[in-house]
């Protein structure tokens, strides 16, 4: 069943990507924490990092979505984050294939380079076992809190 919140997220993503194609560089990194309907109520965060340091954030909790568009990172903060993304190398990780534990959310990472696209989806329990991913996720949560004033629970 397609929920209103999923439609809102999809619309924000499509608008972001279509606007990017016309006037901005394509996103260079996309992260989604999953869990919009998780019983703990933390919601799902969607983080889009553009090649120019611009970011777009969406927080989806049940059927309500809040978006912060046209945000940006300083060049230094962008460089720090990009180093963490490269160190985590999401495209080079082969997560175990297993069913999820009840109430476990699935994280997704996408790195877009000029000529390639690397994607990773894994259960948050598996992400906790990879120090480089943990460091990246902690940095994303910190940026979300800095930019929105909201505490982001990503794991």
Strand order in the sheet with 44-50: 64-72, 54-61, 44-50, 27-32, 106-112, 117-123
Please indicate, yes or no, if residue 35 is contained in any of the structural domains. yes
Beta bridge partners of 50: 27
Q: What pLDDT does 32 receive? A: 95
Please indicate, yes or no, if residue 55 is contained in any of the structural domains. yes
Range of the domain at 99: 4-148
Note the pLDDT tens digit of each residue in 3-31.
444 444 444 444 444 444 455 445 599 99
The Cβ-side half-sphere exposure at 76, using a 13 Å CA radius, reads: 0
- Domain with 65 in it: what CATH number? 3.30.1560
Note the pLDDT tens digit of each residue in 84-118.
998 998 888 888 889 988 888 999 999 998 888 99
Question: Which of 106, 140, 128 lies closest to 152, judged by CA?
Answer: 140
Please indicate, yes or no, if residue 144 is contained in any of the structural domains. yes
Q: What pLDDT does 146 receive? A: 96
Q: What pLDDT does 100 receive? A: 86
Total Cβ atoms within 10 A of residue 1: 3
Please indicate, yes or no, if residue 138 is contained in any of the structural domains. yes
| Residues 152 and 141: beta-carbon distance below 8 Å | yes
Please indicate, yes or no, if residue 153 is contained in any of the structural domains. no
Please indicate, yes or no, if residue 47 is contained in any of the structural domains. yes
| Residues 37 and 90: beta-carbon distance below 8 Å | no
Number of domains in the chain: 1
For the question of whether the overall pTM of this predicted structure is more than 0.85, the answer is no
Please indicate, yes or no, if residue 155 is contained in any of the structural domains. no
Please indicate, yes or no, if residue 118 is contained in any of the structural domains. yes
Note the pLDDT tens digit of each residue in 141-154.
999 999 999 999 99
Q: What pLDDT does 72 receive? A: 96
Q: What pLDDT does 77 receive? A: 96
């Amino acid at each position: 069943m397609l929920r209103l919140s999923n439609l809102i997220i999809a619309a924000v993503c499509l608008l972001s990507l279509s606007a990017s194609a016309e006037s901005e560089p394509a996103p260079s990194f996309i992260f989604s924490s999953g869990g919009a309907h998780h019983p703990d109520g933390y919601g799902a965060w969607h983080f889009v990092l553009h090649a120019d340091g611009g970011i777009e954030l969406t927080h989806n909790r049940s059927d309500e979505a809040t978006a912060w568009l046209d945000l940006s990172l300083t060049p230094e903060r962008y460089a720090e984050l990009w180093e963490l993304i490269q160190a985590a190398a999401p495209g080079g990780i082969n997560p175990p294939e297993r069913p999820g534990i009840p109430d476990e959310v699935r994280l997704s990472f996408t790195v877009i380079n000029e000529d390639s696209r690397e994607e990773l989806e894994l259960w948050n329990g598996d992400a906790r076992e990879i120090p480089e991913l943990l460091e990246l996720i902690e940095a994303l949560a910190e940026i979300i809190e800095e930019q929105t004033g909201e505490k982001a629970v990503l794991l």
